[in-house]
Amino acid sequence: MKKNPNKIKEPMGDRVFLSFVYIILAILVLVMLYPFVYVVSVSISDPAEVIAGKVTFFPKGFDLGAFKTMIDHPIFFTAYKNTIVYTALGTSFTLFFTAITAYPLSKDKFQMRPFFSKVYLITMFFGGGMIPTYLAYKSLHMLDTIWVMVLPGALSAFNIILMRSFFRNIPESLSESAYIDGATDFQILVKVILPLSKPILATIGLFTAVGIWNGYFNALLYLNDIDKYPLQMILRNILVSASFNPAEKDAYSQLNHSATESLKMASIVITTLPIMCSYPFIQKYIVKGMMIGSIKG
């Protein structure tokens, strides 16, 4: 490409500054990318090379055995399907319930607003505790069902506050003009407010989805039926061995022998891939400005 002779040269100081910025950014990118590259490299490397400590950045040897072991796991596909179902259902529930709760709380004309705001706020600071919660789910007959995986987290006070603040930033004039045109509250929420709230929906949706996708704790406590286990339960079995106390007799049995480093990394790759792939697509909504062109004049 031909250089433009009329281009204004940047002052020396700026160029030095910029190159420093680029160098620092490049280092940051390396620091953040390295763990990912390492995980992928180890997962496709020959396990023997991994043990010998020869894999540092690029894969050595090529072996998909670890992935095969994962896929051959008897409940791998069931668990994968479960995770997808839990994530999809759980995220939809969260968005739906949060939106219909946050909307009235964002309206000044709702007279009970301060009271209900406080009621929700309290749940942010006080929880039932593990065992009472377990007993509550038990008496609701939710244990060992899909519902215990998708309902309990559906309404979080934090999300409500986030969404309520977002709704409150949408100019009241929009709702008012919709009222004048004869819209009901529900219509306003669905046709005016929500279409304007894509960024917050995307943000909460993404966080919830990632949370459910990565979550194992509810499954651990509330599910006994292996056919309902999400993927993370297998991943956890492979990755986490118990705190190991060599002073105990027969501590050897506590060691996690079955999983090689490659298998551990392969399981991480398999489980995180879908969520990593969807990130860039949802991210654009989060970054996007929220109110472009909604009000004129």
Partner 1 sequence: MKRLLILFVATMMLLVTACSKEPAKTTTSQKSDKNAAGQKISEKPIEVSWFFSANTPYTGDEEIFKTIQKYTNIKIKPVSVARADYTQKLSTTLASGSLPDLITLSSSEADRYGPQGAFLDLTPYMEAGKLDHYKAMLEKYSPAMDLTRSPNGKYYGFPRIYDVPYRADEVMLGRTDIFAKNNLSTKFETFDDLYKTLVQLKKLYPDSYPYFVRWGSGHLIGNQAYYRGTSSTFYLDPEKEKYLFGPTSQAYKDTLVYLNKLYSEGLLNPNFATISDEEWNELLATNKGFVTIDYPQVGDEIVQQMGSKIPQGFEFTAMLQPAYKNNRVGTPVLSGYFQSYKVISNQTKYKDELVNLLNWMYSPEGIDAMQFGIEGESYQKNSDGTVKFLKDFQTPATPNGSITNAGLNTQELFTVVNQTAINTFELNGAAMKKSVSFLEENQAFGKAVLDAKFSDTNAKKEYTDLKTAIDTYVEEASVNVIIGKKSIDTWDSEVIPQVKKLGSDRALKLINKAYDETFKK
Please give the residue ranges that form the binding site for partner 1 (CB under 8 A).
Answer: 46-49, 51-53, 69, 73-75, 130-131, 134-135, 138, 143, 220-221, 224, 226, 229, 233-234, 236-238, 240-244, 246-247, 249-250, 252-254, 256-261
Nearer residue to partner 1 within complex by CB, 160 or 259:
259
When the beta carbons of 255 and 295 are compared against partner 1, the nearer one is 255
202 or 234: CB nearest partner 1: 234
User: Which lies closer to partner 1 via its Cβ, residue 79 or residue 163?
Assistant: 79
103 vs 137, beta carbon nearer partner 1: 137
Q: Contact at 8 Å (CB) between 48 and 60?
A: no
* Residue nearer to partner 1 on the CB measure, 75 or 190: 75
**Whole-number minimum distance, CB 49 to partner 1, in Å?**
6
Q: Which residues have a Cβ under 8 Å from the Cβ of 236 and sit 6 or more positions away?
A: 216, 220
Smallest separation, CB 214 to partner 1 (Å) = 15
In the complex, minimum distance from the CB of residue 232 to partner 1, in angstroms, rounded to a whole number: 11
> What is the spatial distance between Cα 273 and Cα 251, in angstroms, rounded to a whole number?
35
Q: In this structure, what is the dihedral angle of CA atoms 107, 111, 114, 115, given to the nearest 10 degrees?
A: -130
- Rg (alpha carbons) of the chain, rounded to whole number: 26
Find the shortest distance in angstroms from Cβ 266 to partner 1.
14
CB 224 within 8 A of CB 144: yes
| Min separation Cβ 213 and partner 1, Å | 18
The token pair at 209 is 């989805």
The H or E element containing residue 38 is helix 12-44
Shortest gap between Cβ of 139 and partner 1 (angstroms)? 10
State the minimum distance, in angstroms, from the CB of residue 217 to partner 1: 9
Closer Cβ to partner 1, 106 or 260, answer by number: 260
User: Taking the CB of residue 22, how many other CB atoms lie within 10 A of it?
Assistant: 10
38 C-beta neighbours (distance < 10 Å), count:
16
Q: What is the sign, positive or negative, of the torsion defined by CA atoms of 255, 260, 264, 267?
A: negative
What is the DSSP track for 225-245? -GGG--HHHHHHHHH-PPPP-
Token pair of 114 as six digits:
């301060």
